[in-house]
Each structure stands twice: as C-alpha cells, then as structure tokens.
Structure 1
C-alpha cells in the first residue's frame, strides 16, 4: 500500500510537485483569457498523480502549506512570463480552506504580493465547496483580507457539496465556477437550473466560468445561457507552463 503521508513529506523540496495550466476562454470570441493552475505530483515510482489522489492527505498532514506556497509562486512566475511575451491573462489557483483558516498562508501571500510587480487583479484564489466548509466566519475574514489586497475570489465546484447562492454571497466571491455535473446535464431541468444560477450570479455582478466543457453542444448551451468563460477538454487540456506559453504565442493550437 502507498505510504502517501511519508512520500508527501519533502515532495516540494525534491521537485516532485508541478503546476500545470488549463486554458480558460471567453465564451463570446473564443480567445484565451485565463488559466487555472492545477497541481500534479510526479512521483518517481507511482507516476503522475492528480490532486484527488493526494490533496486530502496533504491537508491532514500539513504538507498543504508547502504545496500551496509552491503553487502560488508558480502562478507569479507564469504571470510574469506571459506578461513578458505581451500576453497578460488571468490566472486562478485552488487554495485549501484548511490553509486559508490558518494565518500563515494568507499573511505570507499578502507579503509576497507586496514584492511582485504584477497587476493583482490577474490572480484569483479558488475555494472549493466539494467538502463542507468549517468556521465560515473566520474563512470570510481571510478572504476579505485577500480581496482588499486586490485578489479575485472564486467559488469552485459550484453545484456540489454545500454550494448555494447564499453561500456565494456570504463568501463575497467575485467569480463562480460551475461544476461540470451541471454543465454536462443537458436535460430541460438541468438547463433551467443552470440558467437560474447564471442569472443570479450576474445579478450580483459575479463572473461565471463553466467547467467541464467537452463537446460543441456543451459550449453552445453555456453560450446561449450567458456564461462568461469556459474551460474543459474541448477548449484545451492542462499543459505545462512552457507548453502553455507556446499556445499563447501561437505555436500550439
């Protein structure tokens, strides 16, 4: 059996944790306007592991602190690189509520932001609701600190777990990421539910990103319903930073 806790210890220092980037496109014109940074663990024996296989263990053992800082640094590096090639786009990154509830990460991030010469509005922190949120008042306080620092706040995986429009307003989100389970539900009831979610988010002045777009039918549907941005395999799979840069400058379709 894999001894994940022991293997995760020092994984960042050993260079095993990687940041990949999945394109986000403007639903209206199809242009690449953003990227979501996605964590990967390239273990020497087990191969390339996805977040669902190790992030929960990282949260339980405290390894999430180092992973979270690494991913934030990779986002800063990507933003700087893409600005340098005259393709400044937005970048979002998942941050565990476990990490946000402690003072270390948010204080470090605020200090790090003071030292980088980037437009802060280009970086968005994603908070997932796939698992119940604990100590919501403290989490709101941390998110408000990050908003005042100029960062965007996205509610990820909306449509699963504890998601609700009330929770969205409570967390003061600037972006709503609709889970693929809603995006790919093509039934009449699913379409009506998605329409209500998009309309409610727009009434609050919140940008809507549709995840899991895999077919032309999915894309046309979210376009008709007024979603602002989309990501999914139809629009681009996760890429290493170097491959994403080539995509941006036109060397990769």
Structure 2
C-alpha cells in the first residue's frame, strides 16, 4: 500500500512527467443505439507503482490541492476531444475545484477559445468531497450553464446524490449509479423508474452507468434511461482507440 505522503509527492510531479492521461468510455443513445458521447477519465501510470486507481489518488489530490491542476488538464483534454470528434464529452469535476471562482473563470476563457459549442461539454460533479457553500457553488455553476455547459450529478443511488441535489444545482444530467443497475430486484427498478420520470419532468437527461450485461442494457432501456455506458459497451480506452471508434461509428 502506498503511503499518502509518498503519493502526495509523486502526484505533484505526475503531470510534468507525463504520467497522467485521459482515457475515454463511450456512451450510447438508447433510442438509436448510436455512439453519441464519451466520459473522460483520469488514469495514472506510475513508473514504479504501475497503474494507480483514481479511487486512491483523487482523494489525495483533493486534500493537497493538486486536484486543481489535474482538473484543468482533464477538462482541456475533454474539450480537445469534443472539438476533434464532434460528440458530447463529459469530465469529472470535484467540488474542491469549485470552492473558489478560479475554475469558473478559467472555464469561461477556455470556452471562448474553442470552436465547438459549449453545449457538447458536461461537467460531472463528483462526491469525493462534501459540497460546501451551496449558494456560491450554484452561482458558479449557473455561470457555466450560461455558456451552454451541462452539469451532471454523478452516482445517483449511492452516497448523497439525489434528484433534490440535481435540482438544487440546476443539473442537466443525472447518472444512475452502477449499484442500482446491477440490482435486479423490483425495488431497484422502481427507484430507477421513478428517478427517470421525475428527471424527465425537470428536463434532466438520465445516463445509466456500469452496464455490464445484455439484461442490464434491456432493463435501463425499458425503464426509460436516455444513454448508457459500461463494460458491455466498452471499457475505458485510450484516446487513439476512442478516435478510431468515433470514426467508424
């Protein structure tokens, strides 16, 4: 197990050493079965430790502040891919990145530089860190929404993610957590169905995460989800592989 202090030191050098990379997991439209989007996911390959999982290093990055550099790197990668491929791109954003106005101001500058409309970009608010000053956070998200950027609430059905939170943050997308997708009980299906109905009433798109079997794909389609991603469709893949997949779609 890697000690936190050692990981903190390594993280501060990871970007400059080219150890971090954006991988992409495709999303399909469940009505057309077409590739319409992808989620950009941060991957860290350390020369000694090998692959370090995001569940290990993201909490450390949030605590020591390197999440700000990592977040800007990942968002830049997502916007570049969005411009190149012409599909929707989503990227994770930690509440830590939104605690001040810096990220929002930087995003405004970046959006004005790209050719692709901002409506093709979605920021996924993760739950690794508790959301702090809600009114200030909502104001910053509203500034981004004003540019056309979508806001997604990740991990619905796990942790604190809820439709109430989605509405409070003026979200445009709700992502159903894998735990509800793999649960084949009638109760889980009822939760998803109710969430889809209420989300659609609020004009919120619903994405099913962690779809791993044909049965799960049929389930989320039947329950009215708009999009799906998961290992059944594709594992996260390198940028070059994703580019080939988009070209052949």
SS in 1 for 2:234: coil
Contact 2:175 2:207 in 1 (8 A): yes
Pick the aligned partner of 2:175 from 156, 162, 177.
Answer: 177
- Which residues of 2 match residues 11-30 of structure 1 at below 5 A? 11-30=14-33
Q: How many residues align?
A: 246
Query: How far apart are residue 242 of structure 1 and its match?
Result: 0.7
Query: How far apart are residue 250 of structure 1 and its match?
Result: 2.0
Equivalent residue, structure 2, for 1:225 = 223
1:80-126 per-residue CA deviation (whole Å, 9 max, x = no partner) reads 221xxxxx110000011000111211111111111111111000000
Contact 2:210 2:231 in 1 (8 A): yes
- Which residues of 2 match residues 1-253 of structure 1 at below 5 A? 1-2=2-3, 3-82=6-85, 88-129=86-127, 131-250=129-248
Moved more, 241-250 or 227-236: 241-250
Query: How far apart are residue 130 of structure 1 and its match?
Result: 5.4
Across the aligned residues of Structure 1 and Structure 2, the Cα RMSD in angstroms comes to 1.2
Contact 1:89 1:122 in 2 (8 A): yes
1:143-175 per-residue CA deviation (whole Å, 9 max, x = no partner) reads 111101110000011111112221111010000
Contact 2:95 2:130 in 1 (8 A): no
Q: Which runs of 5+ in 2 are unaligned?
A: none
Query: How far apart are residue 10 of structure 1 and its match?
Result: 2.2
SS in 1 for 2:13: coil
CA distance in 2, matches of 1:4, 1:16: 13
Please give the TM-score of this superposition, normalised by the length of structure 1.
0.94
CA distance in 2, matches of 1:129, 1:183: 19
Runs of 4+ in 1 over 6 A off after TM superposition: none
Please give the TM-score of this superposition, normalised by the length of structure 2.
0.95
CA distance in 1, matches of 2:127, 2:171: 12
